[in-house]
Chains A and B, each alone.
Chain A
Amino acid sequence: AIQLTQSPSSLSASVGDRVTITCRTSQGINTVLAWYQQKPGKAPKLLIYHASSLGGGVPSRFSGSGSGTDFTLTISSLQPEDFATYYCQQFNNFPFTFGGGTKVEI
């Protein structure tokens, strides 16, 4: 199975900060990678698909980049509602594995 390593596992930031989360895969997956946001007690919400395409209704402060084995999720200006846990997921091969998550805290 393809392993996904996210870093950092947690971070502290302030409103207005620029935040970057990375996801590294154990083998090349072209751009078949998605990013999700999850808040406590809620289902994940799709933010980014195909590594850099913005999901429907997702604010433009979220962006994704990368291909092959190295990917990045960037939040350009952190808002109060962005404090959550973020996961990457690959769709190159089943099992469609997730990264371990990055918790963004105040």
Chain B
Amino acid sequence: EVQLVESGGGLVQPGGSLRLSCAASGFTVSTTYMSWVRQAPGKGLECVSVIYRGGSTSHADSVEGRFTISRDDSSNTLYLHMNSLRAEDTAVYYCAAFTMTDAFDIWGQGTMVTVSS
């Protein structure tokens, strides 16, 4: 079964760090595009980071220099390393992937990140 399972969310103080994980099954993370998409409470969707098949990455301006997307091919896991967190980073973070199509056709269940003192 093709599946993504996120973990690592929680409450963190402003300026703190957090690492999100997304364990993939049923496909190989290194062979496709994978992404982190976030949704602030009551708001729309924002694609914050993407890692491409070859391993290159892109980050939205809102997180550039603070967030880093990476993957571990041996464990088939996607990561999002988040530093210098701000209140406006508070959101549900989803991992998503292209598997059968050229769009995000598989999504995880989401993990909540709350940045607050």
Contacts and interface: CB of A to CB of B under 8 A. Distances in A.
Interface of A: 1, 32, 34, 36, 38, 43-46, 49-50, 53, 55-56, 87, 89, 91, 94-101
Interface of B: 35, 37, 44-47, 50, 58, 60-61, 94, 96, 100-105, 107-110
Nearest to A54: B101
A29 to B, nearest CB: 12
B100 A56 contact: yes
A98 B109 contact: no
Nearest to B46: A98
Nearest to B101: A49
- The binding surface of chain B is classed by DSSP as loop
B105 A55 contact: yes
Helix, strand, loop or mixed for chain A's interface?
loop
A32 B102 CA distance: 8
A28 B44 CA distance: 22
A13 B92 CA distance: 29
A44 B45 CA distance: 9
Contact of B58 (A34, A36, A94): A94
A94 B61 CA distance: 10
A98 B48 CA distance: 11
A43 B101 contact: no
Given A46-B101, A89-B45, A89-B47, 13 more contacts: A32-B102, A38-B45, A44-B107, A49-B102, A50-B101, A50-B102, A55-B101, A55-B103, A56-B100, A56-B101, A95-B46, A95-B47, A97-B47
B47 to A, nearest CB: 4
B3 to A, nearest CB: 12
A91 B103 contact: yes
B107 A98 contact: no
A87 B45 contact: yes
14 contacts: A36-B104, A38-B45, A46-B101, A46-B104, A50-B101, A50-B103, A56-B100, A56-B101, A87-B44, A89-B47, A91-B102, A94-B47, A96-B35, A97-B47
Nearest to B50: A94
A43 B110 contact: yes
